[in-house]
Every structure is written in C-alpha cells, then in structure tokens.
C-alpha cells in the first residue's frame, strides 16, 4: 500500500510504502534524518503515526526543508525543527535568480563562511552566540542552536526599569567585547539580540566583518543608538547607560563614539571603501 502527500513548503511529493512498516509502532511527528551533505527533514502524514527509515522514503521534485518558519527575509529563510536530537534553526540563504549561477554560488559561499567565522570569533571573545552544529555549503545552509529566548526589542519595553538598565549595561559590554576583537556586527540592533534568562545572545552576523576601522565600529554604535530613538523611544534614556558601559569596557570606546557624532553630522552613514 502506498500513500502520497504533496504537503510542504515547496509542494513536495513524498511516497511512503506502508507495507514495510510494522503495525502499532508510534513515531514522532517530525523525522530528522542526517546524511553527509546535511539533514533532510521529513514531515509525517496527518494522523498516521509511522516510524520511518531512510529506505522507506522516496523523495521526488524537492527536499523538505523545514516545518516551522521563523522568518523569511530578502537574504535568508529561518526554519525551526529537530536535528540529531537537538532543537535547531536552519538558516537557508536565498538563491538570487537574477544573478548568474556561478556568481551567486560564489557570493553565497563567501557570506556563509564569513558569518560562521565571525560567530566563532565572537564566541571566543566571550559573547553568547548560537552554537553552530553544521555548515552545508552545497545547500547554502547553516544548522545552529535554537535559542529559547525573546528579542530584546520586544522585552525591553516591558521589563522593570532596574532590569532594563541591567540589560543595557550588558549590551554595552557585548558591543565593547566585539569591537575589542575587531568584530563589526553590521546590523547591531536590539532585533538581533535574544534575551534568554539573564543571558543576551547575539544573532545574525550576515552583514558583519572583521575590521579595526573606527568608521565601521561607529556605524555599529550609530545603528544601536537609532534603535533606541525609534523602537525604544519611550525609554531612549537607556542608551546613555549602554553607552557608559561600552566606554568603561572598551579603551577605544570614546574614539568610536566621537566617530558616531561625525556620522550623525553627515546626516547619513557610508561604509568606508
């Protein structure tokens, strides 16, 4: 007996040979099967509870990529599921059809490697980032730890003031640690920080770089300041606490903040060529 399904994000067609399954065995609703080139996530079929092995599954047209979508952006799609017994996020970079395939492949490979390298260096610098479990260049995908936290952007407005001040001190220290290690995030806002208990986890280094340039570090701090004047305008004074923490923790912090003033006077910021 064969059962077919066209469920999935991309109209995936999957066939299961039910005759190979022993009756009465209960299976999980999501199967995470790992192969050398990455993992394939196989969604179960409705109410039928099946225990699948790789030999029982025939996949045509497309691979199943995920079952729970966190976010779809211009550059990447984030999906959540189980992988090798762990809760993970799959970060899949989006193929740009308007680019020549060779150029697109080269750019995607470079950006994935750059993001992973920056995350590893940030961890060495004592900054909390998601654990990276697997990098699949063939599929333009990173498999990383799923952090069970809330965005600092969402949490900061509702925290008691003393707790909010503590969070901002920690953000200042995090920015200082990054810049001391010449790591520039590239999109340093409270949207790219997760609050998990007392821990702040920094995510999405896709626009980041390794540089000692004051201009780039100034752009980081300028973006962070703008976030407090827009998303957190009701508590914009908290940025002063963050800024004080940054300067205390980073000897070059005062020079970076001077550069921020220059950037603000220009009315716009540009990345130094």
Q: Would you say residue 141 lies in a domain?
A: yes
Q: 100 and 83 share a domain?
A: yes
User: Is 16 in contact with 41 (CB distance < 8 Å)?
Assistant: no
CATH number at residue 139: 3.30.200.20
Distance CA 174, CA 178 (A): 6
Per-residue pLDDT at 47:
32
Each residue of 205-220: pLDDT tens digit? 999 999 999 999 999 9
Q: 81 and 115 share a domain?
A: yes
Domain count, the chain: 3
Q: Is 187 a catalytic residue?
A: yes
Q: Would you say residue 220 lies in a domain?
A: yes
Each residue of 42-87: pLDDT tens digit? 333 333 333 333 333 333 233 333 345 556 767 888 899 899 999 9
Which has more confidence, 233 or 39?
233
Q: Which residue, 112, 145, 178, sits at the end of a domain?
A: 145
Q: Per-residue pLDDT averaged across 29-35, rounded?
A: 32
Each residue of 108-159: pLDDT tens digit? 999 999 999 999 999 999 999 999 999 999 989 999 999 999 999 999 989 9
Instruction: Calculate ∠ Cα 147-31-96, nearest 5°.
Output: 65
CATH number at residue 235: 1.10.510.10
Q: Which residue, 123, 145, 167, sits at the end of a domain?
A: 145
Q: How distant, in Å, are the alpha carbons of 1, 26, 43, 67, 238 from that of 50?
A: 14, 6, 11, 17, 53
Q: Would you say residue 271 lies in a domain?
A: no
Q: 158 and 260 share a domain?
A: yes
- Rounded to two decimals, the pTM is 0.71
Q: 167 and 240 share a domain?
A: yes
Q: Would you say residue 272 lies in a domain?
A: no
Q: 167 and 248 share a domain?
A: yes
Q: Per-residue pLDDT averaged across 22-41, rounded?
A: 32
Q: Which residue, 13, 36, 60, sits at the end of a domain?
A: 60
Among 53-67, 84-98, 161-175, the range scoring the smallest mean pLDDT is 53-67
Q: 96 and 46 share a domain?
A: no
Catalytic position from the list 17, 104, 182, 187: 187
Q: Would you say residue 122 lies in a domain?
A: yes
Which residue range(s) make up the domain with 31? 2-60
Cross-strand partners of 78: 71, 91
Residue 165 buriedness (CB in 10 A; 0-12 / 13-18 / 19+):
middle
Per-residue pLDDT at 192:
96
Q: pLDDT above 70 covers what percent of the chain?
A: 71
Q: What is the mean pLDDT of the chain?
A: 78
Which has more confidence, 21 or 267?
267
**3-state SS of the chain: helix, strand, coil percent to 5?**
40, 25, 35
């Amino acid at each position: 007996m064969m059962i077919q399904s066209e469920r999935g994000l991309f109209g995936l067609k999957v066939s299961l040979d039910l005759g190979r399954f022993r009756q009465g065995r209960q299976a999980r609703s999501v199967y995470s099967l790992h192969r050398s080139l990455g993992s394939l996530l196989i969604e179960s079929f409705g109410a039928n509870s099946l225990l699948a092995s790789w030999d029982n599954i025939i996949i045509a047209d497309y691979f199943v990529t995920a079952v729970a979508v966190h976010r779809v952006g211009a550059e990447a799609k984030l999906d959540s599921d189980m992988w090798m017994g762990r809760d993970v996020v799959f970060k899949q970079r989006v193929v740009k059809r308007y680019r020549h395939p060779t150029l697109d492949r080269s750019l995607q490979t470079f950006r994935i490697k750059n993001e992973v390298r920056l995350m590893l260096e940030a961890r060495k610098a004592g900054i909390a980032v998601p654990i990276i479990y697997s990098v699949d260049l063939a599929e333009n995908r990173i498999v990383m730890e799923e952090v069970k936290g809330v965005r600092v952007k969402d949490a900061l407005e509702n925290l008691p003031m003393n707790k909010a001040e503590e969070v901002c001190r920690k953000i200042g220290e995090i920015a200082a640690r990054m810049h001391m290690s010449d790591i520039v995030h590239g999109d340093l806002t409270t949207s790219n920080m997760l609050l998990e208990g007392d821990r702040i986890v920094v995510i999405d280094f896709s626009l980041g770089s390794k540089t000692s340039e004051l201009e780039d570090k100034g752009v980081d701090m300028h973006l962070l300041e703008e976030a407090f004047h827009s998303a957190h305008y009701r508590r914009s004074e908290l940025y002063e606490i963050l800024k004080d923490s940054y300067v205390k923790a980073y000897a070059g912090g005062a020079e970076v903040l001077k550069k921020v003033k220059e950037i603000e006077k220009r009315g716009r910021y540009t990345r130094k060529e």
